Structure 1
């Protein structure tokens, strides 16, 4: 305790969001003290990371005071928890730029629904995080700034929710909002040693750009523990937070390391991470089968056309002329205009692909090679019904931290596609997918794996992530920026 009877700042920063909220609800901590401590840590780490476009010091302290004096504080699941919000959803009183310097105002007059849900749960918005222009790319940088990965500042925290991931991994906030149109939550989570869930379509309110990237983009959160992510997901989804139900039986989990993009493959450490998770799953009694999902060239084309169109659609939505965009984004948006004009963004493409991927889990295919217990359930197509799929996330270490916005559209496209081929399919299918840490590379950067599931599998994904967190605990913050100083594994 300090002289005032409260915990010193060093004992506040680094606590999980669930523990902070418990202490604020009980009165052991005040929301003002929690926010003030995190702002001090943010000031210390931000010059080396560059996670925030806006830090809301006075507004955040005022909002924290409102939490402390609220009669409903005892019922707030995120009471007093500092959070960061990605710069492509509305925060009342702030300008939403979508990562573009060409977007200068006016300030938003009301919160996006997901921001409103966080606030009503007691969370305090301490800042707006950086992102690449229009959220289009897998590294986070822009004119005058390069956001850096707290685990290795020579590397990017990925994108497009890179600022949010860097903020959490450096301990500046315990939770951050982000969104995912082709991996924009999962890739930063993988790069920064965090856990993130891309919900299925329709589970969490959207409001991302013009049309949620033709339905591919969804809102979610980044966290250091599964418990924190579970509460954040419940809040964003408008659900009452509660314990995750165990399935009551071993799960049947497919594993695939084949890249959806020909000519790319996971490197040795990434494959070893998958193998380590497979070993943990089989040791826990789950059945693991080798099976590749049916990701076709047509699906890849469906993702690509929506990604192209998103640049043109969102620039128009923001009122930003194409001439004012970065050169790479300008080229991107011009292609997107042509894609829209040609009618290449077809809803039927996503619908057919979703049906195919749901069939993959429902047992429409017979091809499988089991590991672990062999008892299985057969689907109507004669194949084994699958609960989840395990894959790598990326092919290697994060991209270098450099001004990618100064490079060509082709250079950005090539680098992004080669590094992250496993995430976009689940956006087109509208199915849930989760990324969690799975060790570290010999060079020190985090490793990660991805689980995906059928419609409605969000809680199953979170439950399994919690099981793996207990069996394979991970360090919660980047070593250099760890508020605790020493190793901080996830609580068990």
Structure 2
């Protein structure tokens, strides 16, 4: 029973359904693991142990129903959880206890999952380094002196250390993918609309999505099936029911490889690891071609829409942290002409990439341009001697992809010489989330990098 905390969600679900292990045993094993390792990594910031055990007892008393029956899950501290503190990583909401669950939480509970707590995030998810004034920083399990990434850094660190088998996250500019890459787990940024997020303030905003994280692609797929699905309160919600593709590998698929997404600086240690991915796909029978990309129009589109959204969402708040306040100020400067230019550029880019995906089935590239950096460092300031003008710029490899309205997964690709995890990004055609997961699964099975555990 001591190794239940590192069993996959798929295996745990099978064991619980067959009554070879109880939900109480599974939840208790993970609570024990949280007690053991969380003080060192600071991933779970609000714990509801008694509530989780009560839910597990209730699960054991009834017949298994949903696909996640009895499985522990942690929710990012950006999503509302009824009766459970939700701070959004901000001192302004340090004592906030919502009255209702967000849709993703309701869907996970309806599928049988059991909430054990909330995971750390920067204030309002602002940035790819998980630190805030309420709870402090989340540390990388593979090197406690390093960042766990962000903004779903708490989720990634909790998964890597066996505190939970499943965790939800969100992604505007890489917040599901970057921490997955930094912590050697799997994160999927779905096609916008796959996981609806009803809103009464920015219902049409497509840059930010919610999605699943786990230690394996199979577990991500299991969780994705529970949270994906149509909801009429989201105007671009997808009606098509998500169904995984058969595991047929990647033989015959056309794979485009971009080592730098069109000239972005990439740290040599990261570049060395991600360069090992194309030969893997070739050995698996895919047709791999290195390509030259021009995604530069994504820069203006992302920054303009992001700034506009921050002013819309947080412009009425005072006492914001410096990163959030900076984004709000940038948003207040956005004009109608700016939005028109961003929309035109994004539309041109979308059509160019539609033509690109007529030729290629998937694109593979680095997730992050650098390996995990020192945890005390607010953000990356330079890459290969090239200064980063602000805290956003070092994550272009992730946020340029966000603009494409495409699914993208981060899958473990290996480790630097210092033992730091590096992920590879698998990007698919819009709406082909199942294809991305199939390709990710094939790569994962061929390499098994995700099976290397942190030295805690």
Relative to the length of structure 1, the TM-score reads 0.83
SS in 2 for 1:36: helix
1:400-430 Cα deviation digits (max 9, x unpaired): 212739x9xxx99635423x22111221121
Alpha-carbon distance change, 119 to 446 in structure 1, aligned in 2, over 3 angstroms: same
| Equivalent residue for 2:375, pick from 394, 398, 401 | 401
Counterpart in the other structure of 1:290: 290
Aligned mates of 2:250, 2:451 — CA distance in 1: 29
Query: Aligned pair 1:246/2:248, yes or no?
Result: yes
| Equivalent residue for 2:423, pick from 448, 470, 475 | 448
Counterpart in the other structure of 1:275: 275
| Equivalent residue for 1:218, pick from 209, 213, 217 | 209
How many residues align? The count is: 437
Contact 1:230 1:241 in 2 (8 A): no
Alpha-carbon distance change, 355 to 240 in structure 1, aligned in 2, over 3 angstroms: closer
Q: Which protein has the larger Cα radius of gyration, Structure 1 or Structure 2?
A: 1
Aligned mates of 1:115, 1:13 — CA distance in 2: 22
Aligned mates of 2:452, 2:47 — CA distance in 1: 21
Aligned mates of 2:419, 2:219 — CA distance in 1: 25
Counterpart in the other structure of 1:79: 69
SS in 1 for 2:285: coil
Alpha-carbon distance change, 109 to 412 in structure 1, aligned in 2, over 3 angstroms: farther
Q: CA RMSD in A?
A: 2.5
Counterpart in the other structure of 2:322: 327
How far off its partner does 1:33 sit?
A: 1.4
1:256-307 Cα deviation digits (max 9, x unpaired): 11345x6x422333223233211111111110112123313x3210101122
Contact 2:177 2:188 in 1 (8 A): yes
Aligned mates of 2:178, 2:29 — CA distance in 1: 29
Aligned mates of 1:389, 1:205 — CA distance in 2: 25
Contact 1:131 1:161 in 2 (8 A): yes
Contact 2:71 2:112 in 1 (8 A): yes
Counterpart in the other structure of 1:56: 48
Which structure 1 segments of 5+ residues have no match?
1-7, 363-384, 482-492
Contact 2:270 2:371 in 1 (8 A): no
Counterpart in the other structure of 2:303: 304
Aligned mates of 2:354, 2:369 — CA distance in 1: 25
SS in 1 for 2:364: strand
Alpha-carbon distance change, 279 to 183 in structure 1, aligned in 2, over 3 angstroms: same
Q: Which moved more, 1:351-360 or 1:175-184?
A: 351-360
Counterpart in the other structure of 2:15: 23
Contact 1:209 1:314 in 2 (8 A): no
Contact 2:259 2:366 in 1 (8 A): yes
Q: Which moved more, 1:90-99 or 1:451-460?
A: 90-99
Contact 1:200 1:430 in 2 (8 A): yes
Contact 1:136 1:311 in 2 (8 A): no
Contact 1:226 1:466 in 2 (8 A): yes
Q: Which moved more, 1:267-276 or 1:334-343?
A: 334-343
Counterpart in the other structure of 1:490: none
Relative to the length of structure 2, the TM-score reads 0.89
Contact 1:22 1:79 in 2 (8 A): no
Counterpart in the other structure of 2:448: 473
1:56-91 Cα deviation digits (max 9, x unpaired): 1111112222222233x1x32112111111111121
SS in 2 for 1:93: coil
Aligned mates of 1:347, 1:108 — CA distance in 2: 35
Contact 1:17 1:81 in 2 (8 A): yes
Counterpart in the other structure of 2:235: none
Which structure 2 segments of 5+ residues have no match?
230-240, 382-386
Aligned mates of 2:451, 2:99 — CA distance in 1: 35
SS in 1 for 2:145: coil
How far off its partner does 1:449 sit?
A: 0.8
How far off its partner does 1:344 sit?
A: 3.0
Aligned mates of 2:265, 2:260 — CA distance in 1: 7
Aligned mates of 1:475, 1:465 — CA distance in 2: 12
| Equivalent residue for 1:438, pick from 413, 416, 421 | 413
Counterpart in the other structure of 2:186: 195
Aligned mates of 1:231, 1:166 — CA distance in 2: 20
